[in-house]
Structure 1
Amino acid sequence: MEQTYFRKGFGLKTQVQPVIDAEYHSRLVDRIRDRGYTDVFGDVTVRLAREFGFCYGVDRAIDYAYETVQKFPDRRIYLVGEIIHNPHVNQRLREMGIHFIYASDDGSFDFSHLTSDDVVLMPAFGVTRRDFDTLRTLGCVLVDTTCGSVLHVWKRVESYARDGFTAVIHGKYTHEESRATASQVTGYDGGKYLIVRDMEEAEIVCDFIARRSRRLSAEEFREHFRDKATPGFDPGRDLGKIGVANQTTMLANESLAIAARIREAIVAGHGEEYACESFRSFDTICSATQERQDAVEAMMARPPDIMIVVGGYNSSNTNHLASMCREHTVTYHIADAMCIDTGTGALRHKPELDPHAPEVVTRDWLPEGPFELGITAGASTPNNKIGETLARLLAITGGL
């Protein structure tokens, strides 16, 4: 019988690696890194964050996608959603013949056109238990690129559900990873989850836990979290025992603060002894996300004059890097090098955290005279896109 599930690739890395290196490599980035992450180009001193760009999980997902195309040249290959949140990488996969299956507005996928002859790639974010079960039932060949850090979170929320704890997940309820993580509790009888976006939403939850004056009534609570919680979630019933987890790309400090705040509310409402027995929390921010955030924090100890953050506008970890930088210096989050107009010098960028916020155009954004430029990139941004960005900017300043 043909094997239909793969999580460790196909042993074709040596064949595909030269192609991947050629497509995503940057000599300019290598030069700056080799010179201690700082280099001078005319009047511009470029400082590169010490951790940036592709992480291990992204590398692995891309490797498996390329290996899949090599392994199954005569089969239809589909991808559930996007492999990662980078438009250039996803476009390259389309050019290689991979067909994308996108979710409807409610997050569901239509697999009705798939057959057992098809090959299906699961993205680095993972898929929900329901989608996984559907694909297995169809008999498709499944290539699972789910990141190991995401799997680590899944194990945590599964343990919560198994032991009767509600999983409170710090994340974005529309994000593929958060949906997939939340779905892991459904394999257990009575499993519950609640997704909170930020401290403001966490405080709404804490009102009920601490039995204090509430911002929302129970009915308003259910309506507010209608799409962010297990169907039929009852705050009076389902917030007794809580385990905290998070989408791996959220801001680490915010996740830790939310967990601490929820524990404080449990102590206030039920006492310390109860909290020791009925609260669990594990730091499930992925190491790559943490390293990139730490590198930005270190750079901001002596902020550059301006900061460029390169990456997809729908990339959670990239948006968080931009948010961190904005607290210290003038920061521009751009999708790629094409956002820099070498003719006029104008810059297109996304000023807000909302991935759907429109780009704005800023002119005369470069400082006069010598200045320091900092640059970093999200975990889904390839080095060639960072290098192309620097090349276009330095063409304006005369540094190249």
Structure 2
Amino acid sequence: MTSPATHVQGKINLRRPDIMEAVQAQVMSHYRSELVERIRARGHEISAGGLTVKLARQFGFCYGVERAIDLAYAARKVFPDRPLYILGEIIHNPEVNDQIRAMGIKFLTGSQKDADMEDLRPGDIVIIPAFGTDVATRRRLEEIGCQFVDTTCGDVMSVWKRVRQYSREGVTSIIHGKAWHEETKATSSQARAYGSGHYLVVYNLEETDYVCRYIVHGGNKEEFLRKFAGAYSEGFDPDVHLEVIGVANQTTMLRGETEEVQRRLRNAMIQKYGEANLHRHFRYFDTICGATQDRQDALEKLLEEPLDLLLVIGGYNSSNTSHLAEMGEARLPTYFIKNASKLVSNKLIRHFNLQRQEEIETRDWLPDGPVIVGVTAGASCPNNLIEDVIRRLFELRGISVQELLAT
């Protein structure tokens, strides 16, 4: 019996209309929210009993996340009796990953992994998450003879293309990102995959300035390598490999910060080599994810409106969600929560503290009397979780959302 999926060099293609149509109802039942759609239709705002909730114009699942989830569901539908594996979290949202696990898809990494790479056999089906995977891991799976359901986001692959181009041209990739993040690990591996290219990951502007000073004035090589331990390629030498650089980025970083990283590095190269020679020493391409930027822009507009506090919903290890929380924290009381259960009462909320990297408790967070609450969510947060939070907010004021929508 022929499988409805097609196979090309180990990659399984599930994006046939008949297959994808068959999984839509299941995906929608798990993650869709009628309430959120009704609020959108009402101008992204709902009010009752002195409580007003304002939704950002863009929030929640992006196309890349929707595609990754669709493909994982499709894999289970097409291969109902086959063992399915996934390299790690499909996206950074605990509820979604729990749902994937509940479908019998075994995780190969993480704190709740169900299997090891050593368990894989030729022909086994492995799902590659939306972040992609590093070159070495993919090659190992190919050597085993595994088949792939590749859900890597197209925006991530665009960055890979740039990094590979840098590598072929002998340009060192300076990647603005988090060296420990799955996406940045996958991206940095591209620099070494098709040549002898090098990379260096910078996390923030402080690290960028350190690199800029080294470019212009030189410095202590051993100190440099200690500072960036785990964030550069094997054999990287700052005295050699910072002479010709190209900027790339983790797609979920703040656009403004990535642009500033690029600007500071560009200026350092001008100082070192002169503007007339800049083209020989510096490259830059805009590779910020469009959906990430849309959500940041929408939050910026929401923050211009009168708000008493902001709720940011999403997985605590989600990079794009963390940046939304940072934007809010710079302007008003902001609470980063992963689901409605964190709204314990109108006197107590449990939320993630970005500075301490842990969940904390805050009391008296929801003011009495009239209050305007802004709500946004990261690109990996499904609408049903947003609905749960909105319902909980009104419940804390003794208001039934169903009664409210009936008016």
State the TM bucket, normalised to the shorter chain.
Answer: over 0.9
- 1:223 corresponds to: 226
Which stretch of structure 1 is more off in the superposition, 35-44 or 192-201? 35-44
Indicate if the aligned counterparts of 1:48 and 1:375 stay in contact, CA closer than 8 A: yes
> What CA distance in whole angstroms lies between the structure 1 residues aligned with 2:14 and 2:278?
40
Q: TM-score, normalised by structure 2?
A: 0.93
1:178 aligns with 2:184: yes
- 2:147 corresponds to: 141
> What CA distance in whole angstroms lies between the structure 2 residues aligned with 1:156 and 1:313?
29
Which stretch of structure 1 is more off in the superposition, 146-155 or 267-276? 267-276
Mapping for residues 208-357 of structure 1, pairs under 5 Å = 208-211=214-217, 214=219, 217-342=220-345, 345-353=347-355, 357=357
- 2:404 corresponds to: none
> What CA distance in whole angstroms lies between the structure 2 residues aligned with 1:392 and 1:353?
27
1:371 aligns with 2:371: yes
Q: Deviations over 1:112-163 (max 9, x none)?
A: 2100132100000000011111111111110000000000000011111111
- 1:115 corresponds to: 121
Q: CA deviation at 1:189?
A: 2.7
Q: CA deviation at 1:67?
A: 0.1
- 1:77 corresponds to: 84
- 1:192 corresponds to: 198
Indicate if the aligned counterparts of 1:128 and 1:179 stay in contact, CA closer than 8 A: yes
Indicate if the aligned counterparts of 1:323 and 1:353 stay in contact, CA closer than 8 A: no
Q: What is the DSSP-based 3-state SS (H/G/I as helix, E as strand, rest coil) of the residue aligned with 1:85?
A: coil
Q: What is the DSSP-based 3-state SS (H/G/I as helix, E as strand, rest coil) of the residue aligned with 2:387?
A: helix
Q: CA deviation at 1:393?
A: 1.4
Indicate if the aligned counterparts of 1:311 and 1:336 stay in contact, CA closer than 8 A: yes
> What CA distance in whole angstroms lies between the structure 2 residues aligned with 1:288 and 1:2?
30
> What CA distance in whole angstroms lies between the structure 2 residues aligned with 1:130 and 1:289?
28
- 1:59 corresponds to: 66
Q: Deviations over 1:36-64 (max 9, x none)?
A: 11121221111100000000000000000
> What CA distance in whole angstroms lies between the structure 2 residues aligned with 1:303 and 1:227?
43
Q: CA deviation at 1:398?
A: 2.3
- 1:385 corresponds to: 385
> What CA distance in whole angstroms lies between the structure 2 residues aligned with 1:175 and 1:157?
17
> What CA distance in whole angstroms lies between the structure 2 residues aligned with 1:196 and 1:41?
46
Indicate if the aligned counterparts of 1:26 and 1:383 stay in contact, CA closer than 8 A: yes
1:126 aligns with 2:126: no
> What CA distance in whole angstroms lies between the structure 2 residues aligned with 1:353 and 1:255?
20
Q: CA deviation at 1:231?
A: 1.1
- 2:30 corresponds to: 23
Q: Deviations over 1:181-217 (max 9, x none)?
A: 00001123321000000011111111121126x5xx1
Question: Unaligned regions of 5+ residues in structure 1, if any?
Answer: none
- 2:405 corresponds to: none
Distance 1:110 1:98, change over 3 A: closer
Indicate if the aligned counterparts of 1:103 and 1:110 stay in contact, CA closer than 8 A: no
Q: What is the DSSP-based 3-state SS (H/G/I as helix, E as strand, rest coil) of the residue aligned with 2:344?
A: coil
> What CA distance in whole angstroms lies between the structure 2 residues aligned with 1:2 and 1:162?
30
Mapping for residues 2-21 of structure 1, pairs under 5 Å = 3=8, 4-6=10-12, 9-11=15-17, 12-21=19-28
Question: Unaligned regions of 5+ residues in structure 2, if any?
Answer: 1-5, 401-407
Indicate if the aligned counterparts of 2:7 and 2:13 stay in contact, CA closer than 8 A: no
Q: Deviations over 1:339-371 (max 9, x none)?
A: 1124x64210012256xx221111211112111
Q: What is the DSSP-based 3-state SS (H/G/I as helix, E as strand, rest coil) of the residue aligned with 1:82?
A: coil
> What CA distance in whole angstroms lies between the structure 2 residues aligned with 1:61 and 1:303?
36
> What CA distance in whole angstroms lies between the structure 1 residues aligned with 2:212 and 2:332?
34
> What CA distance in whole angstroms lies between the structure 1 residues aligned with 2:214 and 2:13?
41
> What CA distance in whole angstroms lies between the structure 2 residues aligned with 1:341 and 1:113?
42
Indicate if the aligned counterparts of 2:14 and 2:75 stay in contact, CA closer than 8 A: no
Distance 1:69 1:197, change over 3 A: same
- 1:89 corresponds to: 96
User: Quick one: which amino acid aligns to residue 121 of structure 2?
Assistant: T
Indicate if the aligned counterparts of 1:7 and 1:145 stay in contact, CA closer than 8 A: no
Q: CA deviation at 1:226?
A: 2.2
> What CA distance in whole angstroms lies between the structure 2 residues aligned with 1:153 and 1:310?
27
Distance 1:303 1:248, change over 3 A: farther
Q: CA deviation at 1:330?
A: 0.7
Q: What is the DSSP-based 3-state SS (H/G/I as helix, E as strand, rest coil) of the residue aligned with 2:118?
A: coil
Which stretch of structure 1 is more off in the superposition, 186-195 or 3-12? 3-12
**C-alpha root-mean-square deviation of aligned residues, in Å?**
1.6
1:41 aligns with 2:41: no
Q: What is the DSSP-based 3-state SS (H/G/I as helix, E as strand, rest coil) of the residue aligned with 2:358?
A: coil
Structure 1 residue ranges, 4+ long, deviating more than 4 angstroms after superposition: none
Indicate if the aligned counterparts of 1:303 and 1:329 stay in contact, CA closer than 8 A: no
Distance 1:2 1:52, change over 3 A: closer
Q: What is the DSSP-based 3-state SS (H/G/I as helix, E as strand, rest coil) of the residue aligned with 1:245?
A: strand
Q: State, as a whole percentage, how many aligned pairs show the same letter.
A: 46
Q: Deviations over 1:308-356 (max 9, x none)?
A: 00000000000000000111111000011111124x64210012256xx
